[in-house]
A and B are shown apart, each in its own frame.
Chain A
């Protein structure tokens, strides 16, 4: 594993299979899609890149894959520079693009065979058969791609990306416009690939997808990577818990004695919501309940809820906007 000697401060960890350093992209129109992005993708992890439309997710992926030329910065894939040693770098990468771009008139089999050859691998029909079977495409191998449904075309794109046995797989919005069944199939496939040692980087709009699958999450907004964190840490760090109390009798306002607490009263006065940080040792629930009973405020029910990744994401992007 070579080390970037020019910038020792930014040297990738030995774990990094994709190492992005200071990558910027300004399009001819003057639009700056990426602003000095630094990111290390660890070997064997599932990394989810989240961000609103136009945040730069696809641009970042396209630069790593060689479809777009970055304006500055460099990228190493398993130690190979994507510009100077593009052959070694690219043969490790598989890309499933966002658009359903397929060779309409080709058969499924011909197109995956083509992909394998294009990426410099000798023919291996047994391997390709396995890929097609895993994706439930084997029965359709002789079908022309144009006759397939959207979901099946998505599978074909995945099969093409896997045809050359990549070590890093980029999935750009893999489940956009895909039905529930295929989405679950895809999640399973991603987990299987990870078990086989493939590193997976996916972009998605669906927070639940990231929450379900990813080990780590990066949030990109307006061309900047604003957060990169373990999913669990992220949720713990930024996640808030709320305790909702259904009151026995409605309140007209929060009692003055409780003004020092982060409390909110619902419009109908029936529900009191207490927000607390999950990171601190003292949640403050016990004192709250004690003070409520001292004030004679009774409640009939209570439940606590944790903020989802989606809430976290929205608040992150908002705070930057």
Chain B
């Protein structure tokens, strides 16, 4: 294992984060805060409780998930896409590193960044609404698992993309609808019966539900199913990454 290489990649990627602090941390925190102001404090006060939780507090886990998913994907996708775009990927390909080290470095940095972001949003939420966390270890567990899984997913998108449009299309066209329709702002029990069934095909439902359970002990689907689905998706991403590096797809001629 080339530990120096993992450290080099990780540091390099984290340095990029700090260099773009406004864009990578401040702006997601700000936009999520606006959700809290609008939906939590302003509209939330006129809405009833959901599952015995005030609406402002109810949307916190969902909003954190929303940022976590988007940021994990775009961080990781951008992290590996940039060297491809700039041509500096030659160095990575000629280095004595295996894909394991490359993935740990890039995905680790992207996940770290989104975990920090998730925690920052959590702290920020405190200024707008009161909430409690019933299962803090599960909460951290879901946070880390989701960040890692979707950073892996983003990494795959970054490898696949060969222009900036492709880099944006998955987060914008697929992830945003899935997160908005994944129960970030509502409990799926509020949907008509047919949609309650359909929505179960949306993987984000399991993430949001499990994460919300760690806060308030209430979930749309069993927490074990949530954790299982997340782990399953992670396994899929790992297999995809392994295949990409084994075949050199989109990386090597």
Taking beta carbons and an 8 Å cutoff, which residues of A are in contact with B?
27-28, 62, 65-69, 86-91, 93, 95, 97, 99, 101-106, 110, 113-122, 160
Q: Quote the shortest CB–CB distance from B45 to chain A (angstroms).
A: 44
CB–CB A27/B253 < 8 A: yes
Residue B93 at the A interface, CB < 8 A?
Answer: yes
In the complex, what residues of B have CB within 8 A of residue A86's CB? 96
Question: Of A67, A99, A118, which one neighbours B97 at CB under 8 angstroms?
Answer: A118
Flag if B91 contacts A115 (CB, 8 Å).
Answer: yes
Give A29's nearest chain B residue, CB to CB: B253
B residues whose Cβ falls under 8 Å from a Cβ of A: 2, 4-5, 7-9, 11-12, 15-16, 19, 83, 86-88, 90-98, 248, 252-253
6 contacts between A and B (CB under 8 A): A66-B93, A87-B96, A93-B94, A116-B4, A118-B97, A160-B91
Chain A residues lying within 8 Å of B16, measured Cβ to Cβ, are 105
Check A117–B88 contact: CB distance below 8 A.
Answer: no
Once the chains bind, are B96 and A90 in contact (CB under 8 Å)?
A: yes
**A120 near B5: Cβ-Cβ < 8 Å:** yes
Closest to A89 in B: B96
* Residues of chain A contacted by B86 (CB below 8 angstroms): 101-104
- A90 and B94 in contact (CB under 8 A), knowing A99-B87, A101-B86, A101-B88? yes
Chain B residues with Cβ under 8 A from A118's Cβ?
4-5, 8-9, 91-92, 95, 97
Q: In the complex, are the beta carbons of B252 and A117 less than 8 A apart?
A: no
Cβ B19 vs Cβ A105 within 8 A: yes
In the complex, the chain A residue whose C-beta lies closest to that of B6 is: A117
Whether B2 pairs with A120 at a CB distance below 8 angstroms is yes
Instruction: Please name the residue on chain B nearest to A170 by beta carbon.
Output: B94
Q: Chain B contacts of A67 at CB under 8 A? A: 90, 93-94, 252-253
**B7 neighbours in A (Cβ, 8 Å):** 117
Closest 3 CB pairs of A and B: A117-B8, A101-B87, A90-B96
A110 to B16, CA, bound (A): 11
- Beyond A88-B96, A99-B87, A110-B15, 5 additional contacts (C-beta under 8 Å) are A66-B93, A87-B2, A101-B88, A118-B4, A160-B91
B8 touches A116 (CB 8 A): yes
In this complex, what residue of B is CB-closest to A102? B88
Query: Given the complex of chains A and B, what is the CA–CA distance between A89 and B96 in angstroms?
Result: 8
Residues of B within 8 A of A114 (CB): 8-9, 11-12
Known: A69-B252, A99-B87, A102-B86. A91 touches B93 (CB 8 A): no
Question: Do B96 and A91 touch across chains, with their CB atoms under 8 A apart?
Answer: yes
Nearest chain A residue, comparing its CB with the CB of B105: A118
Identify the closest chain A residue to B88 (Cβ): A101
**A169 CA to B91 CA in the complex, in Å?**
13
Measured between alpha carbons, how far is A69 from B15 in the docked complex, in Å? Answer: 32
Give the distance in Å from the alpha carbon of A116 to the alpha carbon of B8 in the complex. 8
What is the bound-complex CA distance between A87 and B87, given in angstroms?
22
Distance in Å: Cβ of B86 to nearest Cβ of chain A: 6
> B4: which A residues are within 8 A, CB to CB?
116-122
Q: Which of A68, A103, A104, A160 contacts B252 (CB 8 A)?
A: A68
A49 to B244, CA, bound (A): 33
Complex Cα spacing A86 to B99, Å: 12
* Residue of B11, B96, B248, B252 touching A119 (CB-CB under 8 A): B96
Q: How far is the CB of B85 from chain A (nearest CB, A)?
A: 10
Q: In the complex, what residues of B have CB within 8 A of residue A89's CB?
A: 96
CB-defined contacts of A95 to chain B, threshold 8 Å: 90-91, 94
Kindly list chain A residues whose C-beta atoms are within 8 Å of the C-beta of B248. Answer: 69
- Distance, CA A119 to CA B95, complexed state (A): 6
Query: Separation in Å of the B207 CB from the closest CB of chain A?
Result: 33
Closest to B8 in A: A117
Task: Please indicate the chain A residues that have their CB under 8 angstroms from the CB of B8 in the complex.
Answer: 113-118
Q: Is the CB of B96 within 8 A of A120?
A: yes
Known contacts A65-B94, A69-B252, A90-B95; is-contact A117 B87 (Cβ 8 Å):
no
In the complex, A95 Cα to B91 Cα: how many Å? Answer: 8
- B94 contacts which of A66, A105, A106 (Cβ < 8 Å)? A66
**Closest Cβ of chain B: how far from A24's Cβ, in Å?**
14
Instruction: Provide the bound-state CA to CA distance between A59 and B94, in Å.
Output: 13
What residues on B are CB-neighbors of A28 within 8 Å? 253
